[in-house]
Chain A
Amino acid sequence: MSANDTAKKLLEVKNLQTWLQTGNETIKAVDDVSFSLNKGETFCLVGESGSGKSILALSIIQLLPVKISHHPGGKIFFDWRKQASFDSKATYETIDMLSLDEEQLCDIRGSRIAMIFQEPMTSLNPVASVGEQITEALLLHHPEMSDESAKARALKAMQEVQIKDAESRFDNYPHQLSGGQRQRIMIAMALACEPDLLIADEPTTALDVTVQAEVLKLMRELQQRKGMSILFITHDFGVVAQIADKVGVMKQGKLIEFGETRQVLAQPKHAYSQKLIASVPENLPKRSISSKSSDELKTLIETKNLDVFFPIRKGIFQRVVDHVRAIDDVSVDIHQGKIVAVVGESGSGKTTLGRAILQLQKPTAGSVKISGHELVGLSHNELKPWRKKMQISFQDPQSSLNPRILVAKTITEPMQVHGIGASDEERIELAAQVLESVQLDRDYLWRYPHEFSGGQRQRIGLARALALNPEFIVCDEITSALDVSVQAEVLQLLLEIREKRDLTLLFITHNISVVEYLCDETIVLKNGKVVESGLTADVCGNPQHDYTQKLLAAVPRLNIH
């Protein structure tokens, strides 16, 4: 950025307060926040879930429902560019967004301040083609345009976001595009009217890391070309380090830290931002990886030529025409006491591999052995004795616990089935001990899952897995839905438990920094095939396969050199 560009303030938020009304309760979602954003700058807003990041963004664009929200104080000054059409001369006027009426807001929204959201599937209308949706946004703000010129402009916007073959994509519907392409369309729609401020609410969180890298690169390029400002909301410090000029940290509605990115990341002033940045897996204290090489340890889980195919059926007779090869000829050995990571993009078969090992998904062919015993082909009842030895912990804290039964029942029922503990009282005592081992209160036994936070539920899920005293646990993206500080706690907890119990873990994740922190060995999956495997230090430090290299290069790192 040159000095000239940055001289002018685009947005200035002064002592903004946004209070939300739920029933009789008032939540101070945004509390006395002040910051300013110059033209052409990228401002990253970081914070954990519930810290008020999104509410702040929605307050700026005035999209919060009037019924439940009000602003007891504060001002949002925006430098409004008034321009009749794309080519006419622009005049500028500084206005307070809070004092505008709905009509003026509609003029600003979309054309001067645009917004893109996290979930590209739900933010596009599934029954209109993507081209139509961009054109509609254009025509709304520029009624003077003809249909042809609007279409031409929409096509141009699609080309700008590097949609390949934009002409033919124009008539596609959202479901025909991939997640990354959909997010590009969202960006194209937002940029079609050439806004001065783009508010991006976690735009890359739902995307794979390689796609995220492309989208971030695209956003940077577009910003430089068009000179717009970006307010970027994220929880990922890696992304912050990649794109932000300025960064603000929010906690419980307050902006507790605001400054230049380098400065904030290197020397955070506030204790909370220090804790947050220290929780990033890259910054966690390095642990000593066990020195024993795999050869000395006995193999616990062994898969040979494992296949999981899902048939694709067509026609009235439901003939099987082809298969989706979710797991394709996978042979891995997992040694006792190791933490083995499975990484790969979404759809690479990571989760299916974990479930196929546990026989939750019946393999099409191949063998899975635990301590030398074949599992494939066993019935529900025959598997029962082996279930005790291998457990699973899930990604989504919302759906991983039965909402209808007490935590106590969730944990003790499997114990009862497997004959652990002589009486109900004894099992309750054991369950309480397991809860304590995942650092939860024993009183939590008498609560229902909805009373817990995401991190607590994840611990309960882990406690359920640990209750049977298993040898092997599949951790399926267990930290993906968690905030970074909670993730750090769960990771440390996992390491602690492993030390105590001599557990073997299969850790499925897409987060490379977590793998580097936690795992002894790494398996890289692509389209159901193992492309690379070995010690984490080797795979991540010196990747051999192209795909691994691409994957690693795409990871947003905190320390940019």
Chain B
Amino acid sequence: MNDNTHSRSSGFMRRVLNKTFSGWGARIGLVWIIMLAIMAIFAPFLANSMPLLVSLNGKISAPILRYLTIEDIVVLLAFFTLLLLLLTPARRSLKKLFLYFVIALVIVTVATLQLVVEQENIVYEDFRTDLKTTQYDWVVMPPIPYAPQDYLRDINTLPLEAPLENKAYTHWMGTEENGGDVLSRMIHASRIALVIGLLATGIGMFIGVILGGLMGYFSGVVDMLGMRLVEIFESIPTLFLLLTFVAFFGRSIYIIMIIIGLTSWSGYARYIRAEFLRLRKQDFVQATIASGLPLRSILFRHMLPNGIAPLLVGATFGIASAILAEATLSFLGLGLVGAPSWGQMLNQSIQSSTFNWWMAVYPGGAIFLTVFAYNLIGESLRDAIDPQMAKKAGVVG
């Protein structure tokens, strides 16, 4: 029995996560997402024009640190806080962990905004000139020595260079029409792909679960009003709303995320409502009411885990479609200007007069793999949440 006290503290979500990633499909998906996440977090160190470390007359300095943006710093600090939280020996429930993380994230963001001043108008060519002219003892460059917005104006090469064509300057995935390194842009774009998918879907799910849950549980008038609200939101064409907002408020990734989230909750609300209508009359829910449990517990502890399965599958598609929505905006030329995104890169590939396969294959493949990975994880998550189905599907060994 003492062995079991351990499993008690582990809680529902932790157990589900353990189960989810015991199958190979979800593991592959997870490996890809983790790879993307690492690339997104360490993007400035992986692909940049300035040296990571230099030694000048025995004095070691890291010029790259001076040129980090506020976003870079927030992402890095958030990552290390999470790592710290996960590695501290005290076992915590997932819920508390999440809470601490959110608090830490807010503190980090506020502190960074207050303390850090961004370097503006970086001229990437200067770094290469500097490297040639100054006599450094040694230099450590990032693995890909080109920043995404570094258009290599000092190097006399043609834009749209096929991968590994230029022997002097290695471009693993070729260059795009302005001469920027495709691999570098791919790495930096993984940030947008990850964040837009997760945050937009997160916002949508949060609103959808709460409204849908209330609609399903109370039914009657609440349901009637709720469903009309759902219909109103479903009648708003997301893309045109996005276009309007972009036109009014400029091209901000955050506005895009929030709008995708605010318009996509209706689908999740429908799923949850239908599940809750079914669950409401189930005996175990009636038993919780008969036991006098508070509404919060009935809704979120007893009904939600039983009704979330279709939502998770929907959410994986939601992440995918959020990534695609951003790609569409970029395709229409209304995406982000400076920062690269996979959609924008795809757009570039069809705009040039000749077909350059490396411009289509790499970003297209990345979008495909990311969507695929989310689907694998979603599928396996659904099976793990249902202990009976997990055995049947063979996902859980």
Contact = CB atoms under 8 A, between A and B. Distances in A.
A464 B297 CA distance: 16
Contacts of B12: 404-405
Interface in A374-411: 380, 383-388, 390-392, 394-396, 399-406, 408
A448 interface: yes
Given A399-B283, A402-B306, A446 B4 contact: yes
A450 interface: yes
Given A392-B286, A403-B306, A417 B388 contact: no
A109 interface: no
B88 to A, nearest CB: 22
Interface residues of B, number: 27
Nearest to A468: B291
A391 B388 contact: no
A430 B179 CA distance: 72
Contacts, number: 85
A394 B281 CA distance: 12
B209 interface: no
A380 B295 contact: yes
Contact of B291 (A387, A399, A400, A446): A387
Given A399-B284, A443-B1, A417 B306 contact: no
B66 interface: no
Nearest to B305: A404
Interface in B276-309: 282-284, 286-295, 297, 301-302, 305-306
A390 B4 contact: no
A355 interface: yes
Contact of B387 (A385, A396, A403, A446): A403
B387 A387 contact: no
Contacts of B291: 387, 391, 413-414, 417-418, 464, 468
B385 interface: yes
Nearest to A396: B283
Contacts of B1: 442-443, 446
Contact of B7 (A386, A446, A468): A446
A387 B290 contact: yes
B228 interface: no
A553 interface: no
B167 interface: no
A464 B388 contact: no
Which of A404, A417, A443 has the most chain B CB atoms closer than 10 A to its own CB?
A: A404
B286 A402 contact: no
Given A404-B385, A450-B388, A414 B292 contact: yes
Given A402-B284, A405-B12, A443-B4, A390 B385 contact: no
Contacts of B286: 355, 360, 392, 394
A391 B290 contact: yes
Given A402-B306, A443-B4, A417 B283 contact: no
B287 A464 contact: yes
Most A CB contacts (10 A, CB to CB) among B283, B295, B305 go to B283
A418 B306 contact: no
Contacts of B289: 360, 380
B8 interface: yes
A116 interface: no
Nearest to B297: A413
A399 B303 CA distance: 12
A392 B287 CA distance: 7
Given A413-B293, A413-B297, A450-B388, A394 B287 contact: yes
A198 B282 CA distance: 37
B287 A404 contact: no
30 contacts: A360-B289, A360-B290, A380-B295, A383-B292, A387-B291, A388-B292, A390-B290, A391-B290, A391-B291, A392-B287, A395-B283, A400-B283, A400-B284, A402-B284, A403-B387, A405-B302, A408-B8, A413-B288, A413-B297, A413-B301, A414-B288, A414-B291, A414-B292, A414-B293, A417-B294, A446-B1, A448-B387, A450-B387, A461-B287, A464-B291
Interface of A: 355, 358, 360, 380, 383-388, 390-392, 394-396, 399-406, 408, 413-414, 417-418, 442-443, 445-446, 448, 450, 461, 464-465, 468
Name the 9 nearest CB pairs between A and B, nearest first: A387-B292, A414-B291, A394-B283, A446-B4, A400-B283, A404-B305, A384-B292, A402-B284, A399-B283
